[in-house]
Structure 1
Amino acid sequence: NSSLPASAPPPISPLPLARGGEPTHPPHPRAPLGLRLAPAMEDDEYEEGMEMDMGGHQHLQHRGYGAEEEVEGGYAGGGDGEDEEEEARDEEEITQEDAWAVISAYFEEKGLVRQQLDSFDEFIQNTMQEIVDESADIEIRPESQHNPGRQAEFAETLHKISFGQIYLSKPMMTEADGETATLFPKSARLRNLTYSAPLYVDVSYRVVKKGHDCEEVTETAEYPKVFIGKVPIMLRSSYCTLFQQSEKDLTELGECPYDQGGYFVINGSEKVLIAQEKMSTNHVYVFKKRQPNKFAYVGEVRSMAENQNRPASSMFVRMLSRAGAKGGSSGQYIRATLPYIRADIPIIIVFRALGFVADKDILEHICYDFSDTQMMELLRPSLEEAFVIQNQQVALDYIGKRGATVGVTREKRIK
């Protein structure tokens, strides 16, 4: 039945946990070998040894791998040679052949498109639900039409639609007679179909009616597993019908066992997503500009909440070069480029807008050590530039005046 979601792929079985909560592992091939007895000694040798041992006792050392057995002050084991061999193996340099062996083993296990498959599985299992949860409810406020001879029963009516849990089935197709069947990639290629799976979501519908006496009446209705569309499925992913199929089954389904997947079938044509490189978020990157240039250094950070899918917000911090600064080295100011602000803002004013007004508070967030005279001298021009602004409200107004909107009051700029 296409209305029922397919079960999720079985999770990977974790290692069994011991009583202390730590994963148990199989015994190492070089585990301790226990106690070993020393070779037998003659009676006269034993008596002579006892006379030499002034402590009047004999001891047997617990032996692990490479350990030595000590009897009567002498050594009965030959662990030195084993220790030296182990150290020699550890000190061997990794050759190019060893590196290629590791690389070959990685691709033999993961394949060439594992990053595509893992990314798609993460999108289906987590990202899609996060997008639905972050989406605001749909609100509809109908406007009452003017009717002089008739008064509306309610003064205001609000319709709210919210979405909950989503469900994804296996790829399905609907025949002309309305019958549904499982869709395989080969059928999608031959019949010019899109290899996709139906998507369902729980919908909550609520109507809030406000009467003329300000009394509210709420009506709710739940619609589970409502079909909202189809999602293309990546071949060989966890939601593909070819997932974990044997070579024999793949051959019977008309698929090549050596096909690693990682692509889509759209209207019968195979489509692949081209991976693009982009700068990672929530990391600070500092670039040294080639001179002559107006700036000596430029720092960039693209901030984005880890649990949200909103676009990243970029911020730049630039330090003027000696040639581009007015007044020589004493004028190497540090400026910040903020989102939605048309002009660069002195970095000290940004700190004061955030609530750090005193120079000492600002320097504590920049300098690790106040005795670092070089760092303090680099910050001196920026402190002198922002000396005229010594209040958080003034700093916020300074930034607001350079915003995208103009002609607003001071209160709105600060807000």
Structure 2
Amino acid sequence: MEDLRNRSHADVDYRKIAAPIKSAVDKFQLVPEFLKVRGLVKQHLDSFNYFANTEIKKIVRANDKIVSTIDPNLYLRFKDVRIGNPTVAMGDGVVEDLSPQKCRLTDMTYAAPVLVDVEFTKGSHGGYSLLEKNDVAIGRMPIMLRSCCCVLSGKDEDELARLGECPLDPGGYFVIKGTEKVILIQEQLSKNRIIIDTDKKGNINASVTSSTEATKSKTVVVMEKGKMYLQLNQFAKNIPIMIVMKAMGMESDQEVVQMIGRDPRYSALFLPSIEECASLSIFTQQQALEFLEGKVKKLPYAYMSAGKEGRALSILRDVFLANVRVIKNNFRPKCIYVAVMLRRMMEAILNKDAMDDKDYVGNKRLELSGQLISLLFEDLFKTMISEVQKQADNVLSKRSRSSQLDLSMVSYFFSYSNHLIFSL
């Protein structure tokens, strides 16, 4: 028997099995088998499950603290976040479980509360105490049918029939006010990738759409009139790129040129940018940061607490090329990334074939339901944090200095939870 088993394994040609299928007819025969295994909505369910189990925690972890600018000792920190069971409040503290079929029949939204565990400080004049509160609802989120958060997850045919559901229904959609709705797949340019293109004026630019759990931003380096500039929403005007490099600690012009490349053609293209920086009498990191401070826009409330380091350095660290992390104020990896952008721009100037095609499928990605909901949740969560911080500071600035911040302040923090109610 063992010899027969060994012979059967030896007869299998694994290279033939793994070889690509060349014939379109043979490929078409695989479609039914693929649909049996994966289905048409498996990718949406996996995407939503990843958001519910992983992505939502990353977003909250990256924006986990609300600190008062009036009294920095008073803060609120999110310890954990999760999506609860689909329920609806019936009044007088009564909560009733929801099912998709009930929502269809009663024109309700099949949604679940977003629950967080928080810790916060209370007190004044140096006497502070640390308190905790669990299962605080900060909003409600529609639930995708057959996802891990849905009551239909893991149910057999008999249980589905008792809930009024068809066993052949694959799910992957939402029930919003009694109506079944889906989130369509969207095609977007790749995140965290350098794209070389031209703008409306015909100027060559290098753009990077940065996407992290904490920050979403777009960085553009453009060449205008032979000089290279940084375009960033946080700055009122275009900033000479050499000033940006000096602000990140790259004070030596020679080091910047060597980092871009030793080809004399690169040096000739970059020389006007170096001369412009010198004409502005900017030679050190401190001078560059002072120049950038004067170019920073009036920032929203959430960015006002930049601290002693200044807003310009905070923007360069957290917003400018946010996909390149700065650890212990070491900006060298970010300088290297900028040098790569500049070199690719120069290559495109010298050779038009080096330009990127935005319509090329390799420069695009398909964003599924979980990714799109993740963007929406992050935007609303940050809006809630900003509003809560402003309102908390307003209360703290008006209250009596002899009084202490009591537990009722926590409920006031979350009075703006309506920001997190989704509308699909």
Task: Give TM-score, length-normalised by structure 1.
Answer: 0.59
1:360 and 2:254 matched: yes
Equivalent residues of 1:157, 1:208 under 8 A apart = no
Structure 1 CA distance, aligned partners of 2:16 and 2:147?
45
| Inter-CA distance 161–140: structure 2 relative to 1 (3 Å threshold) | farther
Residue 137 of structure 1: aligned partner? 66
| Higher fraction of helix | 2
Question: Are 2:266 and 1:375 aligned?
Answer: yes
SS in 2 for 1:258: coil
- Partner residue in 2 for 1:126: 54
Q: Deviations over 1:310-348 (max 9, x none)?
A: 3x222111234xxxx4xxxxxx32222233223323322
Q: Within 5 Å, give how 1:279-298 maps onto structure 2.
A: 279-288=189-198, 293-295=201-203, 297-298=204-205
1:391 aligned onto 2:296 = no
- Confirm whether residue 309 of structure 1 aligns to residue 187 of structure 2: no
Alignment of 1:49-88 (within 5 A): 65=10
Q: Give the match's secondary structure for 2:288.
A: helix
The one-letter code matched in structure 2 to 1:111 is G
Whole-angstrom CA distance in 1 between matches of 2:5 and 2:273: 63
Tell me if 1:344 matches 2:238. yes
Q: Counterpart of 1:239?
A: 149
| 1:282 shift after superposition | 1.6
Question: Do residues 196 (structure 1) and 107 (structure 2) align?
Answer: no
Deviation at 1:302, TM superposition (A): 1.9
**CA-atom RMSD in angstroms:** 4.1
| d(CA) in 2 for partners of 1:270, 1:366 | 54
Q: Does structure 2 retain, via aligned residues, the 8 Å contact 1:171–1:182?
A: yes
Q: 1:13 maps to what in 2?
A: none
Where does structure 1 lack aligned partners over 5 or more consecutive residues? 1-26, 35-63, 67-81, 142-155, 211-215, 326-331
Alpha-carbon distance change, 360 to 174 in structure 1, aligned in 2, over 3 angstroms: closer
Distance 1:180 1:301 in 2: 47
User: Aligned equivalents of 1:30 and 1:398: distance in 2?
Assistant: 80
> What letter matches 2:194 in structure 1?
V
* Residues 285 and 301, structure 1, Cα contact 8 Å, conserved in 2: yes
Distance 1:384 1:269, change over 3 A: same
Could you tell me which runs of 5 or more consecutive residues in structure 2 were left unpaired when the two chains were aligned.
300-308, 314-424
Query: Would the alpha carbon gap of residues 176 and 113 (structure 1) be closer, same or farther in structure 2, given more than 3 Å must change?
Result: same
Q: Residue in 2 aligned with 1:253?
A: 163
* Residue in structure 1 matching 2:45, options 94, 108, 117: 117
> How far apart, in 1, do the equivalents of 2:20 and 2:77 lie?
63
Aligned to 2:369: none
- TM-aligned CA distance change 1:31 to 1:298, over 3 Å: farther
Answer whether contact 1:157 1:209 (CA < 8 A) is retained: no
Which amino acid in structure 1 is aligned with residue 164 of structure 2?
G
What does residue range 207-246 of structure 1 map to in structure 2 within 5 Å? 207-210=122-125, 216-246=126-156
CA change 1:188–1:366 in 2 (3 A) is same
Q: Aligned partners of 1:248, 1:277: CA distance in 2, in Å?
A: 39
Larger Rg: 1
Q: Give secondary structure in 1 for the equivalent of 2:229.
A: strand
Q: Could you list the per-position Cα deviations for residues 360-388 of structure 1 after superposition, in whole angstroms to 9, with x for gaps in the alignment?
A: 21022211xx2x33333333333344343
Amino acid of the structure 1 residue aligned with 2:249: G
Return closer, same or farther for 1:94/1:401 CA change in 2, 3 Å cut-off: same
Q: Residue 260 of structure 2 aligns to a residue in which SS?
A: coil
Cα distance in 1, alignment partners of residues 30 and 271 from structure 2:
52
SS at match of 1:381: helix
**Superposed displacement of residue 175, structure 1:** 5.9
Conserved 8 A contact 1:302-1:315: yes
SS of residue paired to 2:243:
helix
Structure 1 distance, partners of 2:245, 2:72, is: 47
> Do the aligned partners of 2:52 and 2:82 also contact (CA within 8 Å) in 1?
no
Equivalent pair of 1:401/1:413 in contact (CA under 8 Å) = no
1:169 to 78, 84, 95: 84
Is 1:157–1:207's contact at 8 Å kept on the other side of the alignment? no
Within a 5 Å distance, the mapping from 1:265-284 to structure 2 comes to 265-284=175-194
Is contact 1:140–1:160 with CA below 8 Å preserved after alignment?
no
Aligned length: 300
Letter in structure 2 aligned against 1:137: I
Q: 1:179 to 1:391 in 2, by over 3 A?
A: closer
Shift of 1:238: 0.8
